């Protein structure tokens, strides 16, 4: 995580949630709620990064895969 | 189509829009250069071959896998997939940090969201996974060569590791799935191998092919021990055999990028689960699967499947006994199907075959097809 304060911003969350998160991270290796929240939010933010099952591939993606398979001689 | 392990095919490749931003951020991050095994694991995780893993294992998964062959969430997983620290400064990485993952030339390939660093117990890991701490075991040698400090966390792949070999045979799980669907195959048997193909392997594959729609021949081309037959030689053998002796429309030859662990039974489970991610419904398990030396019983890799509910594994293992040519039967067989004695069986050890090839002799055609023997002989000289 950046240590330069100018690279950090403050997020506000309800105090009861903050207290609950403090309890949740006790003994887990996370040293603060900030560390934990950063980890969780980063993971959440990365979700839209094309996490698709083949069954959920778009027609364009399917065609791209088929095209490669044709080029390689598999189809 | 069979579901990937854990229900979802993982994709940790960042989108084109995010790639530049992440690559820029990675320049300012601490960096770790991955070894060959870790590079192979990185690529397989990113492309979904190791679904449901989204990164290198955090401590909870690592300990759970060693103790119970399950991830911390209870899913079956039999071998650790770990990233070792490369210098002491990396020991200070903590949850919330980010780490750049690079190849051996220093090219950034991925960014890891660090979940934490932890001390691995290599003695315990070796005993649990490899069933030995003998330094002659190649898996034990690997553990001795790396730091016991592991770094866990999910990964975001920016660019794939570069390959210069087998380019036309490199298919990702989503591609094999599309391929099987396009061919109309519902039942697909996978064959894992790190050895050249002899008549016994061919027999197993064709027995499997009798009961499924298609066969995925999936030779492992990642890191192996130095005295294994090189992957390019093995691939030439497969190309030759498929051309001459296999129904081309029912066989797919593609490479499996993983490194060998030589973990025998546990690796058999791993090999099966991963092939499920490639879309296979059946997995061939022969004698001493993924074994080395005499560390594992001949059929330990069969027995270990009995430790799990078949629905948890989901892919169907096809167990085969030792296969051979029987001179009396006049065909390939196993002890399950042949009543004759050992004197009637054409059986050669790997050592014997290597000796013959080194002397310029070809193994008998009942053991190895002449076309394969010729390739092996040329490669040995």
Give the per-residue pLDDT at A7: 77
pLDDT at residue B171 above 70?
yes
Q: What DSSP character marks residue B73?
A: T
Give the per-residue pLDDT at A3: 58
Give the per-residue pLDDT at A41: 84
Quote the percentage of chain B above a pLDDT of 90.
Answer: 88
Residues of B in contact with A75 (CB under 8 A): 179, 182
Give the per-residue pLDDT at A46: 62
Residues of A in contact with B11 (CB under 8 A): 49-52
- Look at A43 and B97 and tell me if their CB atoms are within 8 Å: no
Catalytic residue among B177, B194, B275, B369: B194
For the segment B261-304, what is each residue's pLDDT rounded down to a tens digit? 999 999 999 999 999 999 999 999 999 899 999 999 999 999 99
Mean pLDDT of B88-113: 93
Show me where the domains of chain A are located.
5-71
For the segment B194-244, what is each residue's pLDDT rounded down to a tens digit? 888 899 999 999 999 999 999 999 999 999 988 888 999 999 999 999 999
Find all residues with CB under 8 Å of B260, minimum gap 6, and list them.
B138, B194, B220, B222, B223, B224, B225, B228, B267, B290
Name, of A29-43, B33-47, B185-199, the range with top average pLDDT.
Answer: B33-47
Q: Choose among A51, A36, A38, A68: nearest CA to B7.
A: A51
- Look at A52 and B12 and tell me if their CB atoms are within 8 Å: no
Show me where the domains of chain B are located.
16-157, 167-380
- Look at B94 and A66 and tell me if their CB atoms are within 8 Å: no
Give the per-residue pLDDT at B367: 94
pLDDT at residue B139 above 70?
yes
B-proximal residues of A, 22-61, CB under 8 Å: 29-31, 34-36, 38-39, 42-43, 46, 48-55, 57
Average pLDDT, chain B: 95
- Look at A39 and B9 and tell me if their CB atoms are within 8 Å: no
For the segment A5-50, what is each residue's pLDDT rounded down to a tens digit? 777 888 888 888 899 899 989 888 888 999 889 888 877 776 544 4
Give the per-residue pLDDT at B212: 98
Sheet architecture: strand order including B331-334? B331-334, B323-326, B345-346
Give the C-alpha separation, B128 to B251, whole Å: 36
Q: Give the three-state DSSP class for B118.
A: strand
Q: How is domain B167-380 classified at the CATH fold level?
A: Rossmann fold (3.40.50)
Sheet architecture: strand order including B282-285? B251-253, B214-219, B188-193, B282-285, B316-319
Q: Name the token pair of B236.
A: 């030439």
Quote the percentage of chain B above a pLDDT of 70.
Answer: 100
Residues of B in contact with A21 (CB under 8 A): none
pLDDT at residue B81 above 80?
yes
How far A1 CA sits from the closest chain B CA (Å)? Answer: 5
**Of the partner residues B94, B96, B174, the one whose CB lies closest to the CB of residue A57:** B174
**Interface residues of chain B, partner chain A, Cβ below 8 Å:** 1, 4, 8-15, 18, 94-98, 113, 115-116, 154, 156, 168-169, 171, 173-175, 177-179, 182, 252, 279
Give the per-residue pLDDT at B138: 96
Mean pLDDT of B34-52: 97
Give the per-residue pLDDT at A52: 46
Catalytic residue among B33, B187, B195, B250: B195
Told to judge if B194 belongs to the known catalytic residues of this protein, a careful annotator would answer yes
Which superfamily does B16-157 belong to?
Answer: Sulfate adenylyltransferase (3.10.400.10)
Mean pLDDT of B75-99: 93
Q: Does A65 touch chain B (CB under 8 A)?
A: yes
Name, of B220-224, B254-258, B289-293, B372-376, the range with top average pLDDT.
Answer: B254-258
Give the per-residue pLDDT at B295: 96
DSSP-based helix, strand, coil % in chain A, nearest 5:
55, 0, 45
Asked if residues B171 and B254 have their Cβ atoms less than 8 Å apart, the reply is yes
User: ipTM of the assembly?
Assistant: 0.83
- Look at B113 and A42 and tell me if their CB atoms are within 8 Å: yes
For B251, the closest chain A residue by CA position comes to: A74
For the segment B304-331, what is each residue's pLDDT rounded down to a tens digit? 999 999 999 999 999 999 999 999 999 9
Helix (H), strand (E), coil (C) string for B170-221: CCCHHHHHHHHHHHCCCCEEEEEECCCCCHHHHHHHHHHHHHCCEEEEEEEC
- Look at B252 and A36 and tell me if their CB atoms are within 8 Å: no
For B113, the closest chain A residue by CA position comes to: A39
Give the per-residue pLDDT at B89: 87
Q: What is the pTM of this model?
A: 0.86
């Amino acid at each position: 995580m950046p240590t330069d304060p100018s690279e950090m911003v403050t997020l506000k969350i309800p105090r009861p949630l903050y207290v609950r998160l403090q309890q949740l991270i006790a003994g887990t290796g996370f040293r603060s709620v900030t560390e934990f929240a950063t980890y969780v939010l980063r993971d959440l933010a990365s979700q839209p990064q094309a996490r698709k099952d083949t069954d959920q591939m778009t027609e364009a993606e399917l065609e791209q895969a088929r095209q490669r398979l044709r080029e390689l001689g598999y189809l | 189509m069979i579901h990937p392990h854990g229900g979802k095919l993982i994709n940790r490749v960042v989108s084109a829009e995010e790639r530049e931003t992440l690559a820029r951020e990675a320049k300012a991050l601490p960096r770790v250069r991955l070894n060959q095994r870790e590079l192979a694991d990185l690529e397989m995780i990113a492309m979904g071959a190791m679904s449901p893993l989204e990164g290198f294992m955090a401590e909870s998964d690592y300990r759970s896998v060693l103790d119970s062959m399950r991830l911390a969430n209870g899913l079956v997983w039999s071998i650790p997939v770990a990233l070792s620290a490369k210098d002491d400064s990396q020991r200070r990485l903590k949850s919330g940090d980010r780490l750049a993952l690079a190849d051996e030339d220093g090219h950034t390939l991925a960014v890891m969201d660090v979940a934490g660093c932890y001390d691995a117990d290599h003695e315990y890991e070796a005993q649990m996974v490899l069933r030995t701490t003998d330094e002659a075991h190649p898996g034990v040698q690997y553990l001795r060569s790396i730091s016991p400090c592991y770094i866990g966390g999910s990964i975001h792949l920016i660019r794939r590791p570069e390959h210069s070999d087998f380019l036309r045979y490199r298919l990702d799980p989503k591609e094999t799935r599309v391929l099987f669907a396009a061919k109309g195959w519902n039942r697909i048997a996978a064959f894992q191998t790190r050895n050249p193909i002899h008549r016994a392997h061919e027999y197993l594959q064709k027995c499997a092919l009798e009961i499924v729609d298609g066969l995925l021949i999936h030779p492992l081309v990642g890191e192996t021990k130095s005295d294994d037959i090189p992957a390019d030689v093995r691939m030439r053998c497969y190309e030759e055999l498929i051309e001459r002796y296999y129904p081309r429309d029912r066989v797919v030859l593609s490479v499996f990028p993983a490194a060998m662990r030589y973990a025998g039974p546990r690796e058999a489970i791993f090999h099966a689960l991963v092939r499920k991610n490639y879309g296979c419904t059946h997995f061939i398990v022969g004698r001493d699967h993924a074994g080395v030396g005499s560390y594992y019983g001949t059929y330990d890799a069969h027995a270990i499947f009995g430790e799990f509910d078949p629905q948890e594994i989901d892919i169907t293992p096809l167990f085969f006994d030792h296969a051979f040519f029987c001179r009396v039967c006049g065909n390939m067989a196993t002890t399950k199907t042949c009543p004759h004695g050992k004197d009637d069986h054409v059986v050669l050890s790997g050592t014997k075959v290597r000796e013959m090839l080194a002397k310029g002799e070809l193994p008998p055609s009942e053991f190895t097809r002449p076309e394969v023997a010729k390739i092996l002989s040329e490669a040995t000289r």
